[in-house]
Amino acid sequence: MNLTLYVWRQKNAGDKGRMDKYEAKDISPDMSFLEMLDVVNEDLEREGKDPIAFDHDCREGICGTCSLNVNGVAHGPEKGTTVCQLHMRNFKDGDKIYIEPWRAKAFPVVKDLIVDRSAFDRIMQAGGFVSVGTGGAPDANAIPISKEAAEDAFDAAACIGCGACVAACKNASAMLFVAAKVSHLANLPQGKVEAKRRVVNMINQMDLEGFGNCTNYYECQAACPKEISVKFIAQMNREYFRSLRYKEK
């Protein structure tokens, strides 16, 4: 099939940027979205033009590197799918496709469709860990954990840190990402010890990075490729409430 692409092109962080039009020809419905862009890029290189820069790594939906806003939706039209796992059979011949980078003050564009997501790393450094000496792998079931807690922790831990929640949110809020990280650890006994300090520090860093606030739109959960639930935002709000009076000793 043949498609018309409108792609955000921006030379570097300082450039103003613009939408450019490209034709994608002879695209197979079995290609992934990124393979379709590879084809377009090969054509561009053959013509001696600068290929479209976009982030990708695993291409199997587990690393969280790919990050494209496709026709106004983060990671494109298919629910619960990263854009690297989105297949061209979701489109039809003659479609117009708008491709834009994640848009947030905290995620500045580096080039074309690539944004700098190190704000997420700094939020993790502020509290997304458990401070214990790590010996060898502990025996399974040495620490009893209820089924519910284990499942909640596991569901939250599915977050791959892609940033689609920020991209989708009208306020560019990072609440779903931070909630996933806070809840993942707060549900487990190993993480409970530092729960109060963790939520205070991570929310503090989230605000410093310039993400927006949560209006409870739930747009994040609709866009999340791992279908992280907004119930974890409720859990984080609870954790924050409990730590309002918390002071470091």
Partner 1 sequence: MQGVNASPTTASMPARLLNRSIGKKILMSFSGLVLLGYVVGHLIGNLQIFVGQNALNAYAVFLHSIGAWLWIIRAFLLAMLIIHVWTALRLYFENRAARPIGYKRKVYQEATLSSRTMIWTGIGVFLFVVYHLMHFTLIITNPQYSHLEDALGRHDVYSMVILGFQNYLISAVYIVSIAIVSYHVAHASKSMFQTWGLNDTNFEKILHPATVIFAWLIFLGYVSIPIAVLTGFVKLPEGVI
Applying CB under 8 A, does 212 fall inside the site for partner 1? yes
CA 126 – CA 177 distance, rounded (Å): 14
Q: Among all chains, which residue has been given the structure tokens 């479609």?
A: 95
CA atoms within 13 A on the CB side of 74: 27
Q: Site mask, ligand SF4, residues 168-207, x = CB under 6 A?
A: --------xx--x---------------------------
Q: Which of residues 101, 128, 163, 212 is near ligand SF4 by CB under 6 A? A: 163
Nearer to ligand HEM, 92 or 238 (CB): 238
Does residue 94 come out as left (phi exceeding 0), alpha (psi in the -120 to 50 range) or beta?
left
Q: Taking the CB of residue 22, how many other CB atoms lie within 10 A of it?
A: 20
**Segment interacting with partner 1 (CB under 8 A) among 39-47, 157-165, 185-193, 239-247:** 239-247
Applying CB under 6 A, does 216 fall inside the site for ligand HEM? yes
CA 54 – CA 178 distance, rounded (Å): 25
Q: Site mask, ligand FES, residues 67-106, x = CB under 6 A?
A: ---------------x-x----------------------
Closest contact distance (angstroms) between CB of 10 and ligand FES is 21
**Segment interacting with partner 1 (CB under 8 A) among 43-51, 87-95, 136-144, 207-215:** 207-215
Q: Among all chains, which residue has been given the structure tokens 């033009």?
A: 49
**Inter-axis angle of helices 147-157 and 175-186, to 10 degrees?**
150
Phi, psi of 23 (to 5 degrees): -105, 130
Q: Point out which residues pair with 100 in neighbouring strands.
A: 69
Q: Which residues bind ligand FES (CB under 6 A)?
A: 56-59, 61-66, 82, 84
Q: Which residues bind ligand SF4 (CB under 6 A)?
A: 159-165, 176-177, 180, 224-226, 228
